[in-house]
């Protein structure tokens, strides 16, 4: 985002500070910076990301880049593979489809959500998810670990769903950049399929979400790929590493697992906490580390700018400059916060009630963030990386780029001794 952005005005739905009248809140127009939507993996929790996109759609239709892993890759394809006016509808259609099974509806009057969610997750394991995956009917699975198959489920329904809901010709026209993360089964290396580098098809999206042993690896051009979340569940580093360093960027990073949490009290809570830590990919720590690294680069760039022209032409200085970030980067960070009744099965619990709750939570969090005065005051005011985490009142924070302290003033020269004549 750049300095002096143009502003829009919206009217909040609630009164503020006890005032008897609504106060207009200025909204930052981010059209001057590149805009990237970064989507973490997390199965059924991905409806939260769809709600976030629904919340930014009206004000910020023009995205430059969508990057995702696993379910984030599916959401990314639904966004990049449709014209702006159809994106929210396609996201809604997908999430309604995967929560449309007969056992995925909360019975009227049912009050025990923990029990219902547990039943819904067990139903997913037994019967699969409409439009997504079905159990393999292979008798060799009775052999357990010796079975000559690589997955418990068949994801061919997902291929049909993607072909119906996503226009891959549009993706490959590169109106919006799409990057999805996977991992090479043989090398163990993280790989990103990027429509600026290759032609993208349903198989690339499916590879990004092929989490073993549930889903089989996807074969592409002689190699086999699993879910990118095995190595890193968020594509933030890929986006920052490959973004042109001379252009400003605003990143909306939407995560589905929180690294922070309370101490477990039961075995079920321990399993959930373990999954949160594993798939959060230490996202806050990594975001802060990347921001610190880029802010240090900015500080070095500022120092180089103060060198005499003759030194700035030195080959060593030029080599350093090629790796420095010179423009503002802003990372708006949203993390799904799970409900007390959710279990370690929350990422494969596809009930309609949970999907709708996740969608609504994403919509609420992005609205709270974009209307927060800390975001409005700090946006686009400094080079380097600024991170915003504003959705939850108890955890709101803005981290600004480091400031280089001014050089201390040179000590005054001692007074000359008096001359005695």
Res 271: pLDDT: 85
The pLDDT tens digits of the residues spanning 325-346 come to: 667 888 888 999 888 888 888 9
| Model pLDDT, residue 209 | 97
CATH number for the domain harbouring residue 310: 3.40.1090
Q: Is residue 5 part of a domain?
A: no
pLDDT in tens, 163-208: 999 999 999 999 999 999 999 999 999 999 999 999 999 999 999 9
- Sole residue written with tokens 């929210």: 88
* Residue 296 located in a structural domain: yes
Give the CB-side neighbour count of residue 279, counting CA atoms within 13 A.
28
Residue 327 lies in a domain: yes
d(CA 178, CA 13): 35
Beta-carbon count within 10 A of 416 CB? 6
The label of the residue with tokens 């696993």 reads 70
Q: What are phi and psi of 34, to 5 degrees?
A: -65, 145
**C-alpha pair distances (Å), 260 with each of 257, 277, 280, 332, 336:** 9, 8, 9, 18, 11
**Which pLDDT score is estimated for 374?**
60
pTM of the model: 0.82
As a whole number of angstroms, the distance between CA 125 and CA 129 comes to: 9
Q: Does residue 301 lie in a domain region?
A: yes
Residue-level pLDDT at 64: 93
Contact partners, residue 402, CB within 8 Å, separation at least 6? 292, 295, 296, 299, 384
| Domain range enclosing 243 | 35-389
Domain assignment present for 10 = no
Model pLDDT, residue 196: 96
| Residue 30: inside a domain | no
Contact 210, 218 (CB under 8 A): yes
Give the integer Cα–Cα distance in Å for 354 and 377: 35
- 1 in a structural domain: no
Q: How many independent structural domains does the chain possess? A: 1
Q: Would 285 be classed as within a structural domain?
A: yes
Spans of the chain below 70 pLDDT: 1-32, 59-61, 281-284, 286, 325-326, 372-383, 391-396, 400-421
Contact between residue 398 and residue 390 where contact means Cβ atoms under 8 Å apart: yes
């Amino acid at each position: 985002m750049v300095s002096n952005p143009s502003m829009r005005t919206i009217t909040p739905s609630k009164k503020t500070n006890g005032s008897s009248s609504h106060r207009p809140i200025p909204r930052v127009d981010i059209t001057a910076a590149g805009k990237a939507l970064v989507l973490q993996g997390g199965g059924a929790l991905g409806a939260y990301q769809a709600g976030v996109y629904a919340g930014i759609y009206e004000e910020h239709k023009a995205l430059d880049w969508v990057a995702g892993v696993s379910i984030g890759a599916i959401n990314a394809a639904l966004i990049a593979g449709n014209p702006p006016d159809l994106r929210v509808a396609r996201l809604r259609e997908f999430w309604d489809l995967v929560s449309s099974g007969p056992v995925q509806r909360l019975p009227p009057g049912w009050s025990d959500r923990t029990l219902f969610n547990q039943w819904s997750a067990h139903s997913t394991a037994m019967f699969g998810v409409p439009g997504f995956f079905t159990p393999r009917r292979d008798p060799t699975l009775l052999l357990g670990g010796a079975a000559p198959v690589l997955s418990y489920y068949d994801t061919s329904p997902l291929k049909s769903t993607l072909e119906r809901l996503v226009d891959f010709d549009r993706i490959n026209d590169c109106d919006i950049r799409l990057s999805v993360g996977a991992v090479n089964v043989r090398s163990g290396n993280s790989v990103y399929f990027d429509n600026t580098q290759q032609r993208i098809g349903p198989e690339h999206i499916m590879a990004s979400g092929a989490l073993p042993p549930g889903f089989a690896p996807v074969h592409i051009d002689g190699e086999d790929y699993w879910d990118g979340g095995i190595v890193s569940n968020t594509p933030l580093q890929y986006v920052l590493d490959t973004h042109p360093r001379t252009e400003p960027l605003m990143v909306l990073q939407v995560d589905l697992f929180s690294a922070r949490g309370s101490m477990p009290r039961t075995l079920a809570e321990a399993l959930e906490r373990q999954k949160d830590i594993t798939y959060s990919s230490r996202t806050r720590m990594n975001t802060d580390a990347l921001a610190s690294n880029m802010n240090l680069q900015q500080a070095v760039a500022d120092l180089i700018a103060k060198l005499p022209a003759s030194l700035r032409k030195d080959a060593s200085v030029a080599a350093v400059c090629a790796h420095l970030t010179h423009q503002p980067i802003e990372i708006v960070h949203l993390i799904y916060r799970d409900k007390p009744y959710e279990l370690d099965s929350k990422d494969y619990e596809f009930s309609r009630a949970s999907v709708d709750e996740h969608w609504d939570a994403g919509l609420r969090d992005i609205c709270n963030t974009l209307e927060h005065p800390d975001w409005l005051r700090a946006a686009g005011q400094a080079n380097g990386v600024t991170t915003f985490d504003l959705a939850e009142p108890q955890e709101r924070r803005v981290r600004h780029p480091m400031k280089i302290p001014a050089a201390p003033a040179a000590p005054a020269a001692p007074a000359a001794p008096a001359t005695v004549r």
